[in-house]
Structure 1
Amino acid sequence: MIKEVCVENFTLVPSAIKKGAHRIELCDNLSVGGTTVSYGVAAKTVSYCRNTNTKVMAIVRPRGGNFIYNEDEVDIMCQDIHLFNQLGINGIVIGCLNRDNWIDEGAMEKCLTAAAGMEITFHMAFDEIAPKRKRQAIDWLISHGVHRILTHGGPLSTRIEDNLSALKSYIEHASEKIIIIPGGGITSANLPFLSSELGMKEAHGTKIVGDLSHS
């Protein structure tokens, strides 16, 4: 199983890799769910991870709050994506919604164009899409070449163990055309149970290889 460790800034990258991270999701400001890191942080992480053969995904999110972005914010995202692409970051983590809590198709298409050649993860904005439209959203993301969907399977206030039926239904609907990567509340302690229940190929979390602050 691929363990994707979500880290804030560069400081925890070395210990995450040492403890068994296969892939890094690079964020800033995790207290608001993650925002785009600086160019310097991205460059340092890429050069370090290249030497350890570890893939890097970078969240591209101009601010905390909702996932509804205006034209200027989408332009900022596209510029950041271009920079990350040039740096050699393996992929980006994005998610744009409209006021109806559906995928902002225009904004997503602009970001996807900017990210040509990179891996794409649609992040937990997915969890704000209405349950009855989840399958439709999975289909849209598949048809636009998105590689994976990061999801908690329900509101972040819930335990991920309580969202197994939703996660199973997403994995079943995805039918290996897109990777469903569970996240939010996964730790090294509950990962074996979740893995046996869901048969997932990838998992995401800040404590998925243990507590990095005590390494």
Structure 2
Amino acid sequence: MNKIIHRAADRGFADHGWLKSHHTFSFANYYNPESIHFGALRVLNDDQVKGGMGFGAHPHDNMEIVSIVLDGALAHKDNTGRDKIINKNDVQIMSAGTGIVHSEFNASKTEEVKFLQIWVFPKYRNVQPRYDQQTFDPAQRYNKWQVVVSPEQSGGKLWLNQDAWFSLGNFDAGEKITITPKQQGQGSYLFLISGEAKVGDEILHERDAIGVSEYEQLDIEVNKAAEFLLIDVPMLQ
């Protein structure tokens, strides 16, 4: 089994006043040659944006971008005329493809918004740009995995242009979980949103993460009630 640990305290950090952003992988002014990507997983940013503030219109291309709001609400606008609010328990997918221009602002003038933005390398380049968004019931991830993004264009979840799965889980203390690869050649990246867990022989605390590849199974013991994001991706070179 190949394993990499990313500790919360070791992540890149940018404080722009209106934005506080932790970078698990190299991003913007943060560069760590030991943390460029995990397989097809390229970016995992943990962002906090003050009320009334946000990211002005900016372009993306040939990247699959997933936004998961943890607290508050995020206002999204783009050059197709789309104008949406992403709330807690919502997940948004953008297939940037040949190119998109969008903005993201805190939907509240006073309350902070906290969200994860994740980039995944696409399976096919230069596809038609596409957006989708869905609300997921948190009761459906209580002591089990709730798949919110997959490569499949069916089954009541979002889909993206890559052989990748995103799953959320809220587990009680004392729960024991085993994860296995989704497909041959896949790796699994486990990000602990909150709580504490023993993963294999590692103890993870809030915002710690572990990536494993070339493995058969990984055992998880929840020490303190925990919320996880599990990302399964191809292990690209």
Return the structure number with greater strand share: 2
State the TM-score bracket (shorter-chain normalisation). Answer: 0.3 to 0.5
**TM-score of the superposition, structure 2-length normalised?**
0.33
From the CA coordinates, give the structure whose radius of gyration is larger.
Answer: 2
Return the structure number with greater helix share: 1
